[in-house]
Chain A
Amino acid sequence: MAGEYKYQESLDWQPEDLFEKYTFKEMLTSSDARILGIKGMLLALIMLGVGGIMALTMRLELMEPGIQFIGPKPYINAVTIHGLIMVLAYAVPFATSSLYFILPRTLGIRNIQNAWAAHLSFVALLISAALLFISRPDFTWAFYAPLSLRVATDMIWMAYVSIILVGISEFLGGIPLISTAFAWKRESGKRWMEMPLAGWGALTGGLFLTISAPMLSIVGVIMLTDFLQITAIYDPARGGDALTFLFMSWFYGHPAVYLPLIPLIAVLYHMLPKMLGRNLWSHTSGIVAFTALFFLGFGVWVHHFQPNFTVHSWLNFFYQFTTMLIIIPSSLHVFNWVASMWQGRISEETRRAIPFKFIAGAIFMIIVGGVNGFLNGLISVDTDFIHNTYWLPAHFHAMFLGFIGMMSMAVFYFLFPYITGRMFSYRLANLHFWIWMPGIFVQVMMMFWLGMTYHPRWVVDYLPLPEWVSGQFWLSIAGFANGFGFLIFLINVLVSVRSGEPVSRDPWVMPDTTPASKDSAPVTNAAE
């Protein structure tokens, strides 16, 4: 097996205070992959704050049955902004930006290619988010037509433009990833199979972005023209078809769930061997998983609206089958990570390292979310209690909050010394982890519980059934705990960036304390 990462101290990964090195103006204009990555991550964290405050507002309202704080209209605004911002403005940009940061050094090339696309992507996302905030749409984050075309405010056209722009932003964001992977091939002259897994993640993630994101822009354009009454493609009242919207929107929508996932998996494939101090369990299985996930990822989108009886039966069965097949590549990824940890001892330093804790938590949560994905794929239960109950938010919160949220924190803590040249406060970071880990778990589990008791989604108020009241109460408590954890993270960043302990050498070089065994071959980096 090819070695994933050269884990001895390398010159590429030295702590450096980039904020001191670059001026503010250079920060905005520099094409350095690290600067692009930092910019994207910082913007994404602002968006995480926005999405988080919306989530906490909703949680405050849902804590008890009845309407206490906000009415239905602000509530559905909060739902819309929370959903759109968290997925499109936090998860995807954070994942791609963090991959920008690590990719050139992992692949051993100077910089990411086509950095102009990353710049434009950043600007497009900025404008898109601003337009969304001004328009304050209330069409929920899935913006189902024709509802999204009718229930509107005066400024709703901005939301459609925002959707167009975010599609453009994601398309542009994928270009550097693909071209950097090809640059590795060109410069190193090695075989594709020898490319580090981060490169494979960049390649497949970039292809996901560039193939699926244009469809989002097309959907946005059609919604705009439908709204302006130039076309009537999605409006059944004027001869359109809402099913066209479903097929088009979710053709973007299912690959979209992999847009943040794949780059973060790629980063995880870089971080995990470095943290463990030894090679991954398997290099090839990672490549197979990336490739299979790429091809299957485009063939399952109908399961997002499958219980509709408008989907023909053979199509239902076909997509149930492909949805089940997704389990194979996902399990390959997870198995690879677990086996990498399992095959040797995890040293004391590794276990104490904050990024490793978050990685372990993320892997735990992706297992929680992934195992019930098996249930979600089955049409029978999907029709019964999964669709349009809290079960579905539970599934994607396990994935998005559990895996992507935890993983993004792992990445940020991991990169913090390389960005600031200082170490964050261990105590605060540890507190952050130990708030988030149970917080996210309780939150997700309570959502599953509410889903099993048929609690409907997207509601501002609910009946005071005992199982719903207690579930929502603990869900809210866990949500507030997670918000508090994020606050600790912010304080940690703000304090440590000025007064953190300076780091002089790569802090994440961990020893492998696995005792040598005559059965196991010594760990080598021969294929490096």
Chain B
Amino acid sequence: MIIRIWATLMVLVVGGVWLLAIPFSPAPILKTGTVISEYRAMGLVPDVGNITEAEDLGHGVFEVPAEDAGHLATESAKGNMNASSMPGMKMEGQTMPKQTQQSMAMPEMDSTSGMKMTDKSMPKSSDMATDGPAMSGMAGMKMVGETMPKPTGMTSDATVSGGKMDMAPQGTANQKMPVMMKQSMSAGNDGPKESSGSMNTTDHGGDDASDGLVLIAQGSPAEVDEILVKKGIAVDTTSVVNMVEWGFDSGMVMVKPGQKVRMKITNTGNIPHEFMIMNMAAMNAINYRLTRPDWNLLEHEAFSEVPFIMPGDRVDFVIEVDKPGMWMYMCMFPYHMQMGMMGTLLTPDMMGEMNMGGMKM
């Protein structure tokens, strides 16, 4: 009798718990507390959309440490014995805008990685895969060097002098991150005074990372509205992307080539996040770096990046997709992407190409 009660109980409990936990698994709630809002009220955390960079600090936290610069130099010297090292030689004695050196980072990384993964996964969308790193680097340098104005707030210490082989890596290593951060900061959050200057540019940080994307506007919703009105641009489609711990609520944004998409990115989580978009070649370059234990992930070649989105902050992008392709957006804070904070922006014809490490999505 007791054993029968026990057996019935067992069936009920086992079945009930299974039903509760597996088919009726509760969805994670997006707001787990009001930690940030309370501390915001106390003035310990900046207000929404109020992050500015103190340019006079100049403490260089984003710079590459000396020992890593050495590694970068060594690896670049190894990998750049082909034509891609030539742009560096040509730049001898010039004073270069930062973007130029950014655009050089990609060829270096990719030439050392041998472009294997890029060739496999992204034959169509990546120019670099087909044209080779050297070409892309050259093109990027030339164009950027001619057209891009020097961004605000930058000193000229990126000047590369001397004809040494290690010139390019050093310049890249030391200047890349500050440029990225400052540029994105000013573009994203600094307010209207700077935004129109740096945001209107279509070539945002080197064309090898954009690769089919044209950035029309980036910044807070009001700024983006202002730019759109000023330029008279109509947006074709809007996509709302919410960041939470740990993921984007829409992991795939589908855009047709030629469309202008407005991405409304809101951090609905509890901790700060980063938002960046890059193409697959850049992803693979970063992936390659992650597999190198002796290299820190100190720089990345993003098409666009907002390095710091506080909880509750919203950042808008307006992007024109001018050719078929696939791009990824993610939060590159340590382990955030590994925890799931990444998504894909792609054109419909790229669905068949989507092959994430052998897994079908």
Q: Using CB atoms and an 8 Å cutoff, list the residues of chain A in contact with chain B.
A: 19, 24, 27, 42, 45-46, 49-50, 52-54, 57, 65-66, 70, 73-74, 77-78, 81, 133-134, 136, 138, 149-155, 227, 229, 235, 237-238, 461, 463-464, 490, 493-494, 497
Q: Are B20 and A136 interface neighbours, CB within 8 A? A: yes
Q: Are B2 and A24 interface neighbours, CB within 8 A? A: yes
Query: In the complex the two chains form, what is the Cα distance from A155 to B27 in whole Å?
Result: 11
A45-B10, A54-B21 known; A152-B29 Cβ under 8 A: yes
A19-B1, A46-B9, A46-B10 known; A464-B358 Cβ under 8 A: yes
Q: List 30 A-B contacts (CB under 8 A).
A: A27-B2, A42-B6, A45-B10, A49-B14, A52-B14, A53-B14, A53-B17, A53-B18, A54-B17, A54-B18, A57-B22, A66-B359, A73-B27, A74-B21, A74-B22, A74-B23, A77-B22, A133-B17, A136-B25, A138-B28, A153-B27, A153-B28, A229-B35, A237-B35, A237-B271, A463-B359, A464-B359, A490-B7, A490-B10, A494-B4
Q: Are A229 and B33 interface neighbours, CB within 8 A? A: yes
Q: Are B32 and A463 interface neighbours, CB within 8 A? A: no
- Note all chain B residues with C-beta closer than 8 A to A42: 6
A46-B6, A229-B35 are known contacts; what are 20 more A-B pairs with Cβ within 8 Å? A19-B1, A24-B5, A49-B14, A53-B17, A54-B17, A66-B359, A66-B360, A74-B23, A150-B270, A151-B32, A152-B32, A153-B26, A155-B26, A229-B33, A229-B38, A238-B35, A238-B39, A461-B359, A464-B358, A464-B359
Expressed in whole angstroms, the minimum distance between the Cβ of A93 and any Cβ of chain B is 14
0 or 1 for each of B45-78: is its CB under 8 Å from A? (1 = yes): 0000000000000000000000000000000000
Query: In the complex the two chains form, what is the Cα distance from A227 to B29 in whole Å?
Result: 14
Contact partner of B17 among A45, A50, A497, CB < 8 A? A50
- Note all chain A residues with C-beta closer than 8 A to B358: 65, 463-464
- Note all chain A residues with C-beta closer than 8 A to B28: 73, 138, 151-153
Does B43 interact with chain A (Cβ within 8 Å)? Answer: no
Query: In the complex the two chains form, what is the Cα distance from A497 to B6 in whole Å?
Result: 12
Query: In the complex the two chains form, what is the Cα distance from A437 to B163 in whole Å?
Result: 71
Query: In the complex the two chains form, what is the Cα distance from A46 to B18 in whole Å?
Result: 13
- Note all chain A residues with C-beta closer than 8 A to B360: 66
Query: In the complex the two chains form, what is the Cα distance from A176 to B136 in whole Å?
Result: 76
- Note all chain A residues with C-beta closer than 8 A to B25: 73-74, 77, 136, 138
Query: In the complex the two chains form, what is the Cα distance from A54 to B34 in whole Å?
Result: 33
Does B3 interact with chain A (Cβ within 8 Å)? Answer: yes
- Note all chain B residues with C-beta closer than 8 A to A19: 1-3
Q: Are A57 and B271 interface neighbours, CB within 8 A? A: no
Shortest Cβ distance from A42 into B: residue? B6
Q: Are A57 and B18 interface neighbours, CB within 8 A? A: yes
Does B357 interact with chain A (Cβ within 8 Å)? Answer: yes
Does B245 interact with chain A (Cβ within 8 Å)? Answer: yes
- Note all chain B residues with C-beta closer than 8 A to A463: 357-359
Query: In the complex the two chains form, what is the Cα distance from A132 to B124 in whole Å?
Result: 50
Q: Using CB atoms and an 8 Å cutoff, list the residues of chain B in contact with chain A.
A: 1-7, 9-10, 13-14, 16-18, 20-23, 25-29, 32-35, 38-39, 245-246, 270-271, 357-360
Shortest Cβ distance from B39 into A: residue? A238
Contact partner of B359 among A46, A65, A151, A152, CB < 8 A? A65
Q: Are B10 and A49 interface neighbours, CB within 8 A? A: yes
Q: Are B29 and A81 interface neighbours, CB within 8 A? A: no
Expressed in whole angstroms, the minimum distance between the Cβ of A240 and any Cβ of chain B is 11
Contact partner of A136 among B7, B13, B26, B246, CB < 8 A? B26
Expressed in whole angstroms, the minimum distance between the Cβ of B209 and any Cβ of chain A is 27
Q: Are B1 and A150 interface neighbours, CB within 8 A? A: no
Query: In the complex the two chains form, what is the Cα distance from A150 to B35 in whole Å?
Result: 10
Q: Are A493 and B3 interface neighbours, CB within 8 A? A: yes
Q: Are B7 and A494 interface neighbours, CB within 8 A? A: yes
Expressed in whole angstroms, the minimum distance between the Cβ of B68 and any Cβ of chain A is 17
- Note all chain A residues with C-beta closer than 8 A to B246: 151
Q: Are A78 and B35 interface neighbours, CB within 8 A? A: no
Expressed in whole angstroms, the minimum distance between the Cβ of B245 and any Cβ of chain A is 6
- Note all chain B residues with C-beta closer than 8 A to A154: 26, 29
- Note all chain A residues with C-beta closer than 8 A to B34: 229
Query: In the complex the two chains form, what is the Cα distance from A150 to B32 in whole Å?
Result: 6
Expressed in whole angstroms, the minimum distance between the Cβ of A75 and any Cβ of chain B is 9
Q: Are A50 and B245 interface neighbours, CB within 8 A? A: no
Query: In the complex the two chains form, what is the Cα distance from A53 to B10 in whole Å?
Result: 11
Shortest Cβ distance from B38 into A: residue? A229
Expressed in whole angstroms, the minimum distance between the Cβ of A305 and any Cβ of chain B is 16
Shortest Cβ distance from A82 into B: residue? B21
- Note all chain B residues with C-beta closer than 8 A to A74: 21-23, 25
Shortest Cβ distance from B23 into A: residue? A74
Query: In the complex the two chains form, what is the Cα distance from A494 to B10 in whole Å?
Result: 12
- Note all chain B residues with C-beta closer than 8 A to A227: 33
Contact partner of B21 among A81, A229, A493, CB < 8 A? A81
Expressed in whole angstroms, the minimum distance between the Cβ of A67 and any Cβ of chain B is 9
Shortest Cβ distance from A465 into B: residue? B358
- Note all chain A residues with C-beta closer than 8 A to B6: 42, 46
Query: In the complex the two chains form, what is the Cα distance from A57 to B6 in whole Å?
Result: 23
Expressed in whole angstroms, the minimum distance between the Cβ of A90 and any Cβ of chain B is 12
Query: In the complex the two chains form, what is the Cα distance from A238 to B22 in whole Å?
Result: 33
Expressed in whole angstroms, the minimum distance between the Cβ of B9 and any Cβ of chain A is 6
A74-B21, A229-B33 known; A237-B270 Cβ under 8 A: yes
Q: Are A70 and B29 interface neighbours, CB within 8 A? A: no
Q: Are B22 and A497 interface neighbours, CB within 8 A? A: no
Query: In the complex the two chains form, what is the Cα distance from A46 to B27 in whole Å?
Result: 27
Query: In the complex the two chains form, what is the Cα distance from A447 to B359 in whole Å?
Result: 22
Query: In the complex the two chains form, what is the Cα distance from A154 to B360 in whole Å?
Result: 33
Shortest Cβ distance from B270 into A: residue? A150
- Note all chain A residues with C-beta closer than 8 A to B23: 74
A24-B2, A151-B28, A237-B271 known; A70-B7 Cβ under 8 A: no
Query: In the complex the two chains form, what is the Cα distance from A46 to B38 in whole Å?
Result: 44
Shortest Cβ distance from A19 into B: residue? B2
Expressed in whole angstroms, the minimum distance between the Cβ of B271 and any Cβ of chain A is 6
- Note all chain B residues with C-beta closer than 8 A to A461: 359
- Note all chain A residues with C-beta closer than 8 A to B2: 19, 24, 27
Q: Which 7 A-B pairs have the closest CB atoms?
A: A74-B25, A153-B26, A49-B14, A77-B21, A497-B3, A74-B22, A46-B10
Expressed in whole angstroms, the minimum distance between the Cβ of B133 and any Cβ of chain A is 27
Shortest Cβ distance from B272 into A: residue? A237
- Note all chain A residues with C-beta closer than 8 A to B16: 133
Query: In the complex the two chains form, what is the Cα distance from A85 to B351 in whole Å?
Result: 42
- Note all chain A residues with C-beta closer than 8 A to B14: 46, 49-50, 52-53
